[in-house]
Chain A
Amino acid sequence: MAVNTETDVTAVLLAEEKQITARSPLQLFWRRLRKDKVAIVALGFIVLLILVAILAPVIVALGNAADPQETNSSALSAFGAATGPSGEYFFGVDNLGRDVFSRVVYGARVSLEVALISTGIAVFIGTLVGLLAGYYRGWVDTVLSRLTDVVLAFPILLLGLGLAAACSGVDGCAGGLIEPGLPVVITVIAIINWTYIARIVRGQVLSLREKEFVEAARSVGASDRQIIVREILPNLVAPLIVYSSLLIPANILLEAALSFLGVGVGAGTPSWGGMISDAQTLFPEAWWFMLFPGLALLITVLAFNLVGDGLQDALDPRRN
């Protein structure tokens, strides 16, 4: 789902240019963010979620819940039907008798890990490509931009599915380097995402390199590398943070979608999307199996979206 946010960032840079006060744009950014109560609450929730993910075994033990991988045939009916929420199983069990509560808690690990790592990789690659293309221009720019165009031409989900499916054989891809399961998902998501970052960074760098401070640095004899690292990169940090914060929730949903469609993380590993997928056949009888992972996804993505919104507002208050 494409969102045309390029206009926002240009506005940001225009605003920065007009700043005359002594405070740096980043300090102002931080100050504005702190005033946005909704974003702070959402950020707090995200921190909480990260803690839940790290401390999953502790939480499961506290709630006296079963291990997420433990199948328990006695939790099922004689016919193999799953039982619903009860005193023993807060969120009910799935079709193998596994505790849905434990799986939802552990599912946070997969969602966060995949989203954060793949976004990190995408941002890294995208920034690199965008920097090179925007700064050096010429044929470097042409080649890299065409490459970006090619990747952007593909239907995202289908491409992700196809790649994941092609690499899901027992031997994986690239001669066994990319094993099916978590590594495939992270790779696929990173491959899809770097293009957005690359486009945006390129646009940023294109305008940044014409600025007075860059010219000034060049006239003093600074090398390309020094200019990039000292003048350009710092100005990219704020928009990069904003765009990462937009990408992370999208990637959480993307991982969930891939798991939902059956090409996500491996069989037993709890993943919110995978759980919703399993719930499809048991539904509508076993509604708990579908409800709780879905709510977890909703709340998590919402929190990230709120933070992202707050960050965007902090970066450019003119938006509202």
Chain B
Amino acid sequence: MSRSMWRTMLALVAVFAALFVAACGSEDSGSDSDSGTPAQTQEEGGGSATEELFAGSATDNLENPEDGVKGGKITILSGGDVDFMDPGKTYYTYAIGIMSALHRGLYAYEPGSLEPTPDLAAGPPEISEDGKTVTIKLREGVMYSDPVKRAVTSADVKYAIERAFTANVANGYAPIYFGDLVGAPEEPGPYKPIEGLETPDDQTLVMKLTEGTGAAAAGALALPISIPIPQEYAEKYDKESPSTYGEGFAVYTGPYMVESDAQGKAVGYVPGKSIHIIRNPNYEDVDDFRPAFIDEYDIQAGNEDAAVATRRVLGGESLMLGELEPPASQLERLLEEEKPQLSAVPGGGWRMISLDTSRPPFDDIDVRKAVIAGFDRNAVRQQRGGEALGAIAQHMIPPGLPGFEESGGFEGFAPEEFDWLQNPAGDPDLSAEYFKAAGFASGKYEGGEELLIVGDAAAPDGPIAEITEQQLQEMGFKTKLRLVTRDTMFTKFCNVPDSEVHVCPSVGWAQDFADPQTMIDPTFNGANIPETSNSNWPELDDPAANEAIEAAKLETEPGPRAQAWADANEAVVAQAPGITYMWDYQSLAASPNVRGVQNGYSTTWDLNFTSLRP
């Protein structure tokens, strides 16, 4: 080989080496980010910023939702599919929104209101003083679709709740809200009747509870779990493991149904792809609040890219977004150009970066307070649209729910006591103080723990997780960030206490129904930490908080109940379990010829009230 070739070779080798060394440094560099000025004060009435911004949008339709013209067909673009079409199994609000058009449960939420409307029930539930008995009267004459040719009876609601406890259905809400029923199974298992559900006649249902938690049980009747299921029809499907009711076969009581054949086989449902919804021919308007303007809905799943879907919807005809939101960064332009086609309502929930309180370093409350105090929550909120799309969350009960005002509203609890929450831009001095109180004299974390952070890779959660990692690094922590799919994040990491994840930045919680218990009990009660599908991400188990929560569950009168939950709220927030950063609004878009009405509970377009402009 010639000398010049050798020289070239050597040079190349040297270059390899230099590059390798150089690049090994670049992966770990995390440096100062822009920390906001500490003098920033808490904004007042945070929600009004969004209301102002969306004035003149389709949200205004909530003032007169019954105005509409019958007829037309709409195509809905959604990202994922429903989790289940079985009202007994379904868990997520996206599917619940669809259920409300197909079925009549005991109670439902009309658009623009978080007061449950009696739907299948004839009136509000009667809760006994001790909270152990709940009585509901049903309407007469509500008919099922083919092939079940009869009216709904209370026995059907009883069966619906009983099957929710079986292993083949395994409803996530059943043990939480109906677990106190007399005779309710402890573990999911084979079907067995529940003593505590009594049907003295076809139009009456009585729930008998072992504890005084009747208020929650009554509230939970707004969930699809109370949608009646005819036992004689569903039994054979419920014998399968898991039950095949809903996937292939179902009957309907609402103005709409999934396109089915005479046996009730849902031919219009292609799992993972589309749902074809048509009018229910057996439906008779029995005191129903639903105007049901549109004739046909075609739900198409698989629209992974929210930006593309939004563009198609806004530029097209008779299209609506399902659960996708217009990307926050484009909202500025969209609000200028296409406001009447957008809508936003409070999401009824909070977003949080949870800190694992069961292990070092976050088992020390001073460290937790130090992190929250120094964290720039504005930067993280900005990834979801900033101030325009929601206020900084100061506690666990979102605006609109009972107990919100009692918890101090947008400002939160007493500033002197809860000083670490007062600066959403981050207060480095206060943070340093808390670190010192924890024993770190330098004012930053000095310990050896490497934080495992597991987040959702998809935007905006991915960027939020990256920002979180950076801010933690600035506070002196060593970090390891892993971004995975949302499913994996939940099923393998954040919902599994044993996985030992320190920080879960992509978690949030929305109301199951309009009661503060749904925001605090599953998520902060020390008694609710199962081995899998754990929603108490901080693994909080504080005796004072647990006590306050259990006490609040037993309140039945609305006033005292709201106050009791505010007290529980305070006990939880005092434990600094995580960085709650937003009570966000859910925004939606629809085509110019669509008069969209957004439901305040499901936060999706309300299929019963939406219509086409003439």
Contacts of A74 in B (CB 8 A): 34
A79 closest partner in B (C-beta): B332
B2 touching A76, Cβ below 8 Å = no
Give the docked Cα–Cα distance between A236 and B331 (Å).
59
Give the docked Cα–Cα distance between A286 and B32 (Å).
25
B27 touching A80, Cβ below 8 Å = no
Contact with B along A107-151 (1 / 0, CB 8 A): 001101100110010000000000000000000000000000000
Interface 9-mer from A10-18, A190-198, A262-270, A290-298: A262-270
A112 closest partner in B (C-beta): B19
Contact with A along B24-50 (1 / 0, CB 8 A): 001101111110000000000000000
Cβ of B185 within 8 Å of any chain A Cβ, yes or no, is no
Cβ of B262 within 8 Å of any chain A Cβ, yes or no, is no
Give the docked Cα–Cα distance between A68 and B28 (Å).
11
Interface hub of A30, A73, A117, A281 (most chain B Cβ within 10 A)? A73
Main secondary structure of the interface of A (DSSP, over half): loop
B31 touching A269, Cβ below 8 Å = no
Interface 9-mer from B160-168, B231-239, B455-463: B455-463
A81 touching B329, Cβ below 8 Å = yes
Interface hub of B34, B329, B388, B488 (most chain A Cβ within 10 A)? B329
Cβ of A160 within 8 Å of any chain B Cβ, yes or no, is no
Interface positions of B from 326 to 347, Cβ below 8 Å from A: 327-333
A30 touching B27, Cβ below 8 Å = no
Contacts of B382 in A (CB 8 A): 73, 76, 78-80
Contacts of B493 in A (CB 8 A): 170
Contacts of A116 in B (CB 8 A): 15-16, 19
Given known contacts A79-B385, A79-B386, A168-B484, is B23 in contact with A110 (CB within 8 Å)?
yes
Interface positions of A from 3 to 35, Cβ below 8 Å from B: 24, 26-27, 30
Contacts of B305 in A (CB 8 A): 280-281
B32 touching A170, Cβ below 8 Å = no
B1 touching A237, Cβ below 8 Å = yes
Interface hub of A81, A106, A180 (most chain B Cβ within 10 A)? A81
Give the docked Cα–Cα distance between A80 and B387 (Å).
10
Contact with A along B363-398 (1 / 0, CB 8 A): 000000000000010110011111111000000000
Partner of A73, one of B32, B34, B328, B452: B34
Interface 9-mer from A49-57, A214-222, A300-308: A49-57
Partner of B22, one of A56, A70, A120, A181: A56
Partner of B18, one of A54, A96, A106, A170: A54
Contacts of B16 in A (CB 8 A): 116-117, 120
Give the docked Cα–Cα distance between A70 and B20 (Å).
22
CB distance from A47 to the nearest CB of B (A): 9
CB distance from A74 to the nearest CB of B (A): 5
Interface 9-mer from B78-86, B206-214, B464-472, B508-516: B464-472
Given known contacts A267-B483, A269-B27, is B19 in contact with A54 (CB within 8 Å)?
yes
A268 touching B469, Cβ below 8 Å = yes
Give the docked Cα–Cα distance between A24 and B376 (Å).
67
A53 closest partner in B (C-beta): B19
Contacts of A170 in B (CB 8 A): 452, 454, 482, 484, 493
Contact with A along B1-16 (1 / 0, CB 8 A): 1101100000000011
Cβ of A155 within 8 Å of any chain B Cβ, yes or no, is no
Cβ of A63 within 8 Å of any chain B Cβ, yes or no, is no
A71 touching B33, Cβ below 8 Å = yes
Contacts of B2 in A (CB 8 A): 24, 26-27, 30
Cβ of A67 within 8 Å of any chain B Cβ, yes or no, is yes
Interface positions of A from 238 to 268, Cβ below 8 Å from B: 262, 266-268
CB distance from B28 to the nearest CB of A (A): 9
A169 touching B484, Cβ below 8 Å = yes
B493 closest partner in A (C-beta): A170
Contact with B along A33-70 (1 / 0, CB 8 A): 00000000000000000100110100000000001111
Given known contacts A26-B2, A120-B16, is B327 in contact with A281 (CB within 8 Å)?
yes
Cβ of B182 within 8 Å of any chain A Cβ, yes or no, is no
A116 closest partner in B (C-beta): B16
Contacts of A67 in B (CB 8 A): 29, 31
Give the docked Cα–Cα distance between A80 and B331 (Å).
9
Contacts of A164 in B (CB 8 A): none
Number of B residues contacting the other chain (C-beta, 8 Å)? 59
B329 touching A109, Cβ below 8 Å = no
Cβ of B55 within 8 Å of any chain A Cβ, yes or no, is no
Cβ of B481 within 8 Å of any chain A Cβ, yes or no, is yes
Cβ of B122 within 8 Å of any chain A Cβ, yes or no, is no
Give the docked Cα–Cα distance between A6 and B463 (Å).
47
Cβ of B176 within 8 Å of any chain A Cβ, yes or no, is no
How many A-B contacts if CB must be within 8 Å? 146
B27 closest partner in A (C-beta): A269
A74 closest partner in B (C-beta): B34
Contacts of B574 in A (CB 8 A): none
Interface positions of A from 163 to 198, Cβ below 8 Å from B: 168-170, 180-182
Cβ of A234 within 8 Å of any chain B Cβ, yes or no, is yes
Main secondary structure of the interface of B (DSSP, over half): helix
Cβ of B571 within 8 Å of any chain A Cβ, yes or no, is no
Given known contacts A73-B378, A113-B19, A180-B482, is B33 in contact with A81 (CB within 8 Å)?
no
Contacts of A237 in B (CB 8 A): 1, 5
B12 closest partner in A (C-beta): A116
Give the docked Cα–Cα distance between A296 and B493 (Å).
37
Contacts of A82 in B (CB 8 A): 329
B384 touching A80, Cβ below 8 Å = yes
Cβ of A226 within 8 Å of any chain B Cβ, yes or no, is no
Cβ of A159 within 8 Å of any chain B Cβ, yes or no, is no
CB distance from A58 to the nearest CB of B (A): 11
Cβ of A77 within 8 Å of any chain B Cβ, yes or no, is yes
CB distance from B584 to the nearest CB of A (A): 12
Cβ of B148 within 8 Å of any chain A Cβ, yes or no, is no
Partner of B388, one of A50, A70, A79: A79
Given known contacts A54-B22, A116-B16, A267-B465, is B332 in contact with A77 (CB within 8 Å)?
yes
Give the docked Cα–Cα distance between A27 and B493 (Å).
60
Contacts of B452 in A (CB 8 A): 170
CB distance from A299 to the nearest CB of B (A): 18
CB distance from B520 to the nearest CB of A (A): 29
Contacts of B462 in A (CB 8 A): 267
Give the docked Cα–Cα distance between A53 and B19 (Å).
7
Cβ of B151 within 8 Å of any chain A Cβ, yes or no, is no
Given known contacts A53-B19, A81-B329, A106-B26, is B467 in contact with A281 (CB within 8 Å)?
no
A80 closest partner in B (C-beta): B382
Interface hub of A67, A70, A268 (most chain B Cβ within 10 A)? A268
B484 touching A71, Cβ below 8 Å = no
Contacts of A56 in B (CB 8 A): 22, 26
Cβ of B551 within 8 Å of any chain A Cβ, yes or no, is no
Partner of A113, one of B23, B333, B379: B23
Cβ of B114 within 8 Å of any chain A Cβ, yes or no, is no
Cβ of A282 within 8 Å of any chain B Cβ, yes or no, is yes
CB distance from B567 to the nearest CB of A (A): 35
Cβ of A312 within 8 Å of any chain B Cβ, yes or no, is no
CB distance from B27 to the nearest CB of A (A): 6
B53 closest partner in A (C-beta): A79
CB distance from B269 to the nearest CB of A (A): 29
A234 touching B1, Cβ below 8 Å = yes
Contacts of A78 in B (CB 8 A): 332, 382, 386-388
Complex A-B, nearest 9 residue pairs according to Cβ-Cβ distance, in ascending order = A73-B379, A81-B329, A80-B382, A79-B332, A109-B23, A281-B307, A67-B31, A113-B23, A72-B34
Interface residues of B (CB under 8 A from A): 1-2, 4-5, 15-16, 18-20, 22-23, 26-27, 29-34, 305-307, 327-333, 376, 378-379, 382-389, 452, 454, 457, 459-460, 462-463, 465-467, 469-470, 481-484, 488, 492-493
Beyond the given pairs A79-B331, A96-B466, 11 more chain A to chain B contacts, judged by CB atoms under 8 angstroms and listed by A's residue number, are A69-B470, A70-B32, A71-B470, A76-B382, A79-B382, A80-B383, A170-B493, A262-B457, A266-B27, A267-B462, A281-B306
**Sample of 10 A–B contacts (CB below 8 Å):** A67-B29, A71-B467, A72-B33, A79-B385, A80-B385, A120-B16, A266-B481, A268-B469, A268-B470, A285-B329
